Amino acid sequence: MNVKDKFFKAFLIAVSAVFLCFVLCGCTEKIRDNSTELTGYSWQGENPNGSSFTLSFSDNYGEFQIIPVEKGTAAKIYGDCIVTNSSFAIIDRESGEVVVFEYTLIGDTMELSYEGGVITLGKIITEKTSS
């Protein structure tokens, strides 16, 4: 094997190694914990009687809203929020009451439970438009 062939072989191996690194690094995804996944999105759902629910987060602030079927005032719990990997607490700004919810994430949905009741909420995925 002459020097040119050795150089070409070494060059091909180096290029293949660099290409393999790009492919493998491009396929990895940072695994998010449940609390980051929960607070990274807004959520919405509806129960069988037609009432709807929304849940959203911003920094250390959470808001849970219940919108009744009949026209009327929506119930809202909002305030400072403490989030773990299986529950979150909202300290209601109006009443000072601490409301604790348990949650389980299942793909793009969440089972939210409070005092024995369970509702299912789905992620609100918004597309960002470029100007």
pLDDT digits (tens, 9 = 90+) for 14-59: 555 655 445 455 544 444 688 889 999 999 999 888 889 999 999 8
The per-residue pLDDT for range 57-83, each reduced to its tens digit, is: 998 999 999 998 887 778 899 999 999
Domain boundaries, the chain: 34-124
What top-level class would CATH report for the domain 34-124?
A: mainly beta
Residues ≥6 apart with Cβ < 8 Å to 97: 91
Q: Which amino acid is at 65?
A: Q
Rounded to 5°, the CA angle 79-84-88 comes to 35
The model's pTM:
0.69
User: What pLDDT was estimated at residue 88?
Assistant: 96
Confidence at residue 29, expressed as pLDDT on a 0 to 100 scale: 45
Q: What is the pLDDT of residue 31?
A: 47
In degrees, rounded to 5, the angle at the alpha carbon of residue 32 between the alpha carbons of residues 60 and 115 is: 55
Over residues 110-125, the pLDDT tens digits come to 999 988 889 999 999 7
